[in-house]
């Protein structure tokens, strides 16, 4: 389960930001996970439950925001919802493999004190 390593990295990043801000507790972490990231949100939640008790995020809430796939058509210069890596622009019918959103894996927000 690579989510354990990902969560460990996310917690380390969150702890570094918390300490740099002069705080000592993490109350809430918001992670943004793209549909194409290859990350299983439930496994990430399990990893958080295993790792958080031994960190400054011991009583923190984990919130996961899922980001859908958004494609880009270079011909129309338009974004559109997509279902996969390769899609067809709904406006002009041009096939495209350009993905604008959906691959994210980021620490989006922290609530600290």
Average pLDDT of the residues in 86-99: 93
Parent domain of 12: 3-112
Q: How many domains does the chain contain in total?
A: 1
Average pLDDT of the residues in 50-65: 97
- Residue 103's alpha-carbon distances to 15, 21, 33, in angstroms, are 24, 28, 7
Average pLDDT of the residues in 93-101: 94
DSSP state of 94: -
Backbone dihedral angles phi then psi of residue 52, each to the nearest 5 degrees: -60, -40
The full DSSP string for 23-82 is: ---EEEEEEEEETTS---HHHHHHHHHHHGGGSTTTTPEEEEEEE--EEEETTTTEEEE-
Average pLDDT of the residues in 103-113: 96
What pLDDT shows up at residue 1?
A: 58
CATH number for the domain including 73? 3.30.2320.80
């Amino acid at each position: 389960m690579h989510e354990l390593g990902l969560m460990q990295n996310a917690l380390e990043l969150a702890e570094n930001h918390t300490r740099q801000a002069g705080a000592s507790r993490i109350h809430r972490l918001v992670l943004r996970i793209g549909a194409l990231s290859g990350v299983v949100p439930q496994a990430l939640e399990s990893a958080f439950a295993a790792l958080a008790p031994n960190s400054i995020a011991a009583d923190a809430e984990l919130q996961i925001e899922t980001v859908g796939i958004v494609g880009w058509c270079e011909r129309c210069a338009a974004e559109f919802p997509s279902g996969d890596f390769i899609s067809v622009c709904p406006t002009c019918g041009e096939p495209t493999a350009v993905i604008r959103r959906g691959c994210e894996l980021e620490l989006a927000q922290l609530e600290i004190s």
